[in-house]
Each structure stands twice: as C-alpha cells, then as structure tokens.
Amino acid sequence: MPMSNVRLHKPVLILMFVIGLLSLGVPVLLAAQRSTLPSSRVVFSWNRDGDFDLFLLDGDTLKVVAQLTDNRASDLSPTWSPDGSQIAFSSNVSGNYEIYTIDIATGKSSVLTNNNWDDLYPAWSPDGSQIAFTSNSDSNWDVYVMDIGGKGATRLTTSDVYEGNPVWSPDGSQIAFVSGREASRDILVMDANGSNVQPLTTLSTSADFSPAWSPAGDQIAFVSNRSGNPDIFVVDVGCIGDSDVCDANAVNLTADNEGADSDPAWSNNAFHILFASVRNDTAELWKMNADGSDVQQLTTGEGEERFPAIWVDG
C-alpha cells in the first residue's frame, strides 16, 4: 500500500508505528491507550472520507472517541473478542477482502487469512477460541471456521447457493447464518460443527439476512424485506426447525420507518438493539429498546455509518 494513500498522524512515535504497519501491508490502527478506553464500546464502519474505516464510540456518552483504522481500503463488519480487547474485521487493504484482528490498546494488527479470494463477515466464538467467517474460496460463498491465529480453517456449509454471515449462539453450540439466492434468502441454524441444519425462516417472497443472536440466546434479530422495505425483525428461537411458526411470529420492530434498516446488534444486557438506518438519505446509527420502542439517533455527519458492534465491560 503506497504511503500517499495513508493520512499519517502525530505524534512521531505513532508515525513510526504506522510506517512499520505499512511495510507489513496491514490496516493502520490509531488506538487510544487502554486506560482511556471507555468501558462501554461501540465499534462501527464509517466512510466519512470516501472509504470505510473503523471508529470507536463511547457507549455511555455516545461520542466518537477514536478512529481505529485509516487507509484507502474498506474496513467492514467488525466484531469484538469476548474480552473486548480485540476486534476482528474484514478489509480489502491488500486487494481482496481478508480477515484481520486488531488489539485496540496496543495497536498490534494481524492478518488471519491471506488468499486469492474474499473472506468476509467474521464472528468471534463466545469462548474466544475460534472465528467463523464467510469465504468464496471455491468460487461459492460458504461458512468456515478457523482458530484465532488463522489456522485450521474448516468448511461448515456446502450448498451451491450463497451461505454466509455467521453468528454464534451465546453458548457456542450453534451458528445462525444466511442461505439462498439474493432475492430469496433465509436464516438457517446449524450446530457449531456444521451438522443438524434447521430453518429459522423460509418465506419464499422475501430476503432475510443479518442475523443477530440475543445475549440470553432466546431470540434472533434479523433483517427482512418481507414488509416491502428492509426492516428489523425479532423471533423467539423456540421455533427453530418449524419455519412456518417462525415466519408467522416474527415481530417487525421498525415497521414505522419507510427507510432501509440493517445491521442489528444487541446490547450486552439485551435492553437495546443498535442498527443502521437510512432515514435522512444516508445510513446513520440508531438505537431502540428491544421491543422497538424509544428509537434514538446516535450519529450524524457526512458519509454512512454501518455495522455497529457493542462490548460492555462487566
């Protein structure tokens, strides 16, 4: 990545560190020290300068406190490690999309995949030992899992349609994911080893995507265009395996909005859901109660804000 593509910042020590990262071909981290990190953290992707970088929002003050990456690539779909010390995300800083991790206190960055294909949508396992992700390594999108060092990648799905966007159940025993053609995608659930695949949604007239498991493991939020535009729905997981019941009982949390809602993310206590929404011509971050009430806008400004992910200490 050429030096002209990166905006370097003071002080000089950070400059030297950035140059070192550039020589490794990894995304640039501009991180605060651990002592200044907020206890409630929201990481998200923001393209305020033309490409998506990662930013850190204080979950209590709702103010942006740090820009975590700064390059001419797109850094997308961040996910927290269970202890809140690292972020896994996908970036095309090297040409195609790869999975990276960044330690937000030390600035150490690692590339976990280094291939000639795209690897996207990482999801950290609850025990911190594995990362599930989406890859088109065989010219078809499937769900894979690897250890946190990027080794031992194992393919979990083998369909000839798109399968991706994995998310772990809180106990680590299951993975929800998206499956299907673009115009008709469904949410499926499988055991963490890829077996026992069961449907959550199978409504043929809609596309369902972006599943997000609640912290207690009793609900799954997802995005669907079954109402005519993308809205955020939630359904109890007790209906897994009986998609007719799931589809009939899915509750639309954003039915009063005619814009496109996406990227749901639960708060640790399950009281709130953060999401991206296009309500003023561009995607901004919003927050609502888990029942869809008390909707609040969190971010404003130039560019789009997407892919919020929350971590709270304790």
Rounded to two decimals, what is the model's pTM?
0.88
Cβ atoms of 232 and 223 closer than 8 Å: yes
Supply φ then ψ for residue 4, to 5 degrees: -65, -15
Supply φ then ψ for residue 297, to 5 degrees: -85, 130
Four-CA torsion 38, 44, 49, 50, nearest 10 degrees:
170
CB 259: neighbour CB atoms within 10 A? 17
CB 313: neighbour CB atoms within 10 A? 11
Supply φ then ψ for residue 63, to 5 degrees: -115, 145
CA dist 58 and 297 (Å) reads 14
pLDDT in tens, 160-200: 999 999 999 999 999 999 999 877 899 999 999 999 999 99
Q: Please give the domain boundaries of the chain with CATH numbers for all domains.
A: 3-312 (2.120.10.30)
For the chain, where are the alpha helices, taking DSSP H only? 12-24, 243-249
* Residue 27 exposed, middle or buried by CB count within 10 Å (0-12, 13-18, 19+): buried
pLDDT in tens, 104-152: 888 788 999 988 899 999 999 999 999 999 999 888 999 999 999 999 9
Query: What percent of the chain is predicted at pLDDT more than 90?
Result: 67
